[in-house]
Structure 1
């Protein structure tokens, strides 16, 4: 299966369980992998035969820029569900949401969640 991958899209939003996370924007990033056939687009060289990655980014932006969520798991699930609904030709999506600087009292390189969802609701 082919993949269309949008790597490390960056956003600023207010998600998290801590009060400070509701008050101040934090950086988030997301990577999405869309599993689909790219053969038609590759042969035709026409955007009409491809998935316009600007629209993919718009879906991700709408979720991350939308209402506050407590968990990055929720963001990932909503992104996956909306991408599968918006692009029925996609067989499955892999979504990774990264919160690089959560406001915690220890140092680490951030936290991320990565999920894979298929058309029809299957997880793998």
Structure 2
């Protein structure tokens, strides 16, 4: 088993419970980690034998573009799509961070972390 990480995917999106958040939008950071058997790709040196991180980035960007009230909701969309579209992925973990959240304090970011495993 091996791990592929796509880190610090920066996107501008319109998530939030407040009307202003969905109108104005804000900056987000997404980190993604997938677990898969990487032995075959290590030997073959072929993209078809591994998890394509271009696909992972595409999934994150598309799902972040779909407005949600909660970060948990967008995280679940990302988890489900990665497992549906990347057959090699056995487990996926996503961190979704809202940069400078409007919570009335000096807070750099708020992050949620969720994981999901492929059912056998």
Q: TM-score under structure 2 normalisation? A: 0.94
Gaps of 5+ in 1: none
1:120 CA drift (Å) = 2.2
CA distance in 1, matches of 2:86, 2:37: 12
1:103 CA drift (Å) = 1.8
The count of residues paired between Structure 1 and Structure 2 equals: 120
Alignment of 1:1-124 (within 5 A): 1-66=1-66, 68-120=67-119
1:73 CA drift (Å) = 0.7
CA distance in 2, matches of 1:87, 1:48: 11
Gaps of 5+ in 2: none
1:54 CA drift (Å) = 0.7
Q: TM-score under structure 1 normalisation? A: 0.91
1:104 CA drift (Å) = 2.3
CA-based RMSD: 1.3
